[in-house]
């Protein structure tokens, strides 16, 4: 570097280019009003992390499979890793579908052995589907919340996994199934058999119910808990030795609540407050497909069923881009934004068709993932989606992890890593605010921004099969005249002049533009007095 360049660099630093929002001499009135806002968001791990979801039985083969075979007695079945799950028949013997008792043998130890892969991918949070004692493979039929299913391991294995995630700077979230238990649950069996059982009021019995008791959606294997009973709430979350609080002491960092909407606003709020009291900064995310506006602060965040629906419809060209933009903007505006940042943005999971099946067009699929990783919230990546695993209705979407595709370096794996790295490198995509950009034509156009102009990003998406030329006005007063816009996805760059930029978007194309705020080789920038 020559003397002129060194002097220029030093001058820029002295003028405040490296300063934070609180100390920069170029912070304007609006910057000062939000001083510290984005820094505070960055300190809270719950805002905008990348979440990786795992079904323990299906993620990684156990190293001790032969020693574990006795844990899968008939009518349960232990399958080879290369066998794909298929829908079975209903068993009157055990009152479940046979595919619910098909196993592949993964456990907490094998999951921990693959933690390096999850970390290298770039995930910040490992989220496990239920691991507590249950009869089925999915464990949504709890027999004992406080015990881990022996096929998976023990509470000590949970502690070890929590410690391993912590070593890598990651967090661990468990799935809490607190609306219902399993039909073989000892408390339920005792209550069902004995009207004077101490657990009789833990459930609801009566002739008005199809099975003689209230089951979730009338499923005979899933009797609902009577949460109106204080003893039940004490057991699940209120008492110091409750399920929610004891696992947090074991080292986990939060809970994803199955069918959270069934638990209701008030009880969810009780649970969330109990979790926060036990472990300040812990996360409670509810499986809530409803409009999110009134569900905060009952939970910290929701799983965005509705947003998933909108994204998939749009990239499949069943919903036009302008309607998508209007609906998303309304939802984000109506809900508390701090909670939106903590909500999980997903495209597929254990209850849905896999993304590669729902969106078979690879170009459209990538557009959906661009939206997933740029809209506010925490992108939730279902295991195997990063290598385009396919799967239809239950249980097809719960197949064993395709490690052969990982080893073959499937092209979608590189794409997933690119999106994750892009998100982690761009502050506004993680914790920035959201607003629509004014754009002509039928395109999706929005900005993620903070109080620093260099953070801002303009996202443009054209899901149609035709090229679209759009003129875009970004309502960011710091975007200087004549600034070059760099596409972070490697596409064509653009220029922003006199408040607008005109961009040609080929069919099924996305752009993530950031303004070039760094000085030229000669040392000049028109951002010299803008924070």
Please list the active-site residues. 258, 287
Residue 527: CB partners within 8 Å, gap ≥ 6?
453, 454, 478, 480, 483, 517
Residue 11: CB partners within 8 Å, gap ≥ 6?
none
192: helix, strand or coil: helix
Of 246, 243, 378, 227, which Cα lies nearest the Cα of 301? 378
206: helix, strand or coil: coil
Of 228, 213, 156, 150, which Cα lies nearest the Cα of 181? 213
Residue 409: CB partners within 8 Å, gap ≥ 6?
none
Q: Phi/psi zone of residue 409: left (φ > 0), alpha (ψ -120 to 50 degrees), beta?
A: left
Do residues 519 and 525 make contact, with C-beta atoms less than 8 angstroms apart?
A: yes
Do residues 368 and 347 make contact, with C-beta atoms less than 8 angstroms apart?
A: yes
Strand partners, 432: none
Do residues 162 and 243 make contact, with C-beta atoms less than 8 angstroms apart?
A: no
The DSSP result for 63-103, as a single string, is: TTHHHHGGGS-TT-EE--TTPPP----EETTTTEEGGGGEE
Strands (E), 388-481: 433-436, 438-439, 444-449, 457-462, 468-473
**Cα–Cα–Cα angle for 84, 161, 129, nearest 5°?**
40
How many CB atoms lie under 10 A from the CB of residue 46?
A: 25
Distances (CA, A) of 394 to 53, 55, 85, 138: 17, 14, 9, 11
Residue 284 preceded by cis peptide, ω within 30: no
Do residues 247 and 237 make contact, with C-beta atoms less than 8 angstroms apart?
A: no
Q: Phi/psi zone of residue 226: left (φ > 0), alpha (ψ -120 to 50 degrees), beta?
A: beta
């Amino acid at each position: 570097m020559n003397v002129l360049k060194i002097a220029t660099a030093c001058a820029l630093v002295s003028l405040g280019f490296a300063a934070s929002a609180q100390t920069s001499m170029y912070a304007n009135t609006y910057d000062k009003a939000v001083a510290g806002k984005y820094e505070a968001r960055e300190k809270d791990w719950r805002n905008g992390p990348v979440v990786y979801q795992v079904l323990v039985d299906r993620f990684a083969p156990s190293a001790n499979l032969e020693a574990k075979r006795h844990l899968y007695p008939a009518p349960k079945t232990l399958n080879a890793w290369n066998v794909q799950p298929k829908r079975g028949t209903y068993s009157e013997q055990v009152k479940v579908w046979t595919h619910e008792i098909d196993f592949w043998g993964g456990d907490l130890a094998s999951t921990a052995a693959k933690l390096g892969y999850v970390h290298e991918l770039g995930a910040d949070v490992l989220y496990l589907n239920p691991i507590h004692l249950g009869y089925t493979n999915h464990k949504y039929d709890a027999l004992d919340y406080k015990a881990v299913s022996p096929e998976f391991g023990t509470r000590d294995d949970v502690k070890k996994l929590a410690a391993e995630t912590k070593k890598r700077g990651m967090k661990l979230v468990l799935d809490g199934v607190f609306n219902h238990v399993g039909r073989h649950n000892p408390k339920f069996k005792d209550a069902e058999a004995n009207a004077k059982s101490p657990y009789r009021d833990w459930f609801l019995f009566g002739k008005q119910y199809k099975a003689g008791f209230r089951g979730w959606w009338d499923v005979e294997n899933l009797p609902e808990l009577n949460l109106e009973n204080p003893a039940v709430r004490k057991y699940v979350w209120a008492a110091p030795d409750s399920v929610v609080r004891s696992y947090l002491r074991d080292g986990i960092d939060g809970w994803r609540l199955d069918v959270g909407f069934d638990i209701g606003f008030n009880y969810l709020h009780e649970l969330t407050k109990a979790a926060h009291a036990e472990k300040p900064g812990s996360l409670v995310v509810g499986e809530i497909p409803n409009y999110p506006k009134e569900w905060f602060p009952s939970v910290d965040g929701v799983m965005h069923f509705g947003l998933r629906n909108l994204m998939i419809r749009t990239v499949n060209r069943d919903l036009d881009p302008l309607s998508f933009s209007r609906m998303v903007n309304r939802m984000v505006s109506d809900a508390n934004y701090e909670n939106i940042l903590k909500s999980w943005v997903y495209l597929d999971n254990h209850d849905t068709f896999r993304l590669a099946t729902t969106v078979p067009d690879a170009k459209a699929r990538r557009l959906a993932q661009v939206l997933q990783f740029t809209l506010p919230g925490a992108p939730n990546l279902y295991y195997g989606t990063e290598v385009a695993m396919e799967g239809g209705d239950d249980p097809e979407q719960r197949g064993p992890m395709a490690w052969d595709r990982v080893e073959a370096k499937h092209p979608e794996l590189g794409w997933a890593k690119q999106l994750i790295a892009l998100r982690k490198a761009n502050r506004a995509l993680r914790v920035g605010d959201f607003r629509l950009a004014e754009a002509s034509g039928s395109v999706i156009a929005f900005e993620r921004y903070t109080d620093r102009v260099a953070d801002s990003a303009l996202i443009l998406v054209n899901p149609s099969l035709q090229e679209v030329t759009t003129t875009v006005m970004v309502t960011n007063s710091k975007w200087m005249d004549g600034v070059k816009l760099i596409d972070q996805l490697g596409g064509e760059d653009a220029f922003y002049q006199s408040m607008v930029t005109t961009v040609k978007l080929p069919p099924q194309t996305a752009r993530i533009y950031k303004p070039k705020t760094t000085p030229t080789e000669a040392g000049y920038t028109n951002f010299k007095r803008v924070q």
